[in-house]
Amino acid sequence: MQDNQLSKEEISQLTEADWKERLSADEYHVMREKGTERPFTGVYNDATDDGVYRCKGCGASLFDSSSKFDASCGWPSFDQGIDNSAIEEHVDNSLGMTRTEVTCSNCGAHLGHVFPDGPRETTGMRYCINSVSIDLDKSEK
């Protein structure tokens, strides 16, 4: 665990009021209320810098920049998580469709959704992630 990552115990102590204080209104809406940022507006949509993308809520390492690709969908896209335990997937039946939601396995923050239309030469998956849910740690490369 990184020094700046909250532990499960620290996370369990946070109330919704604490989350509202820690996060901006947009971050709170996406990460705690399962919202979505508008496409092509996120700071990481076109980012190409090396590093590790961390959860904005708790600091957990989620995605390596080497797994990022341009899906031209309007959100940062990755073909895999940093390891099998970094993210969790859940059935999402909202908006009249069935999708797979992606959350941070450490704090439960909503990150986005995963679709089976990513690069076939890698995993074939596209983790479509809201920029407001992540921070790029360039010191990790």
Give CA 70 to chain center in angstroms.
Answer: 16
> Known binder of ligand: residue 73?
no
Comparing CA positions, the residue from 113, 72, 74 lying closest to residue 93 is 113
Backbone angles phi, psi at 132, to 5 degrees: -70, -10
Pick the catalytic residue from 31, 62, 102, 128.
128
Handedness of CA 6, 130, 79, 137 (dihedral sign): negative
128 is catalytic: yes
As annotated, the active-site residues are 128
Binding-site residues for Zn(2+) sit at 55, 58, 104, 107
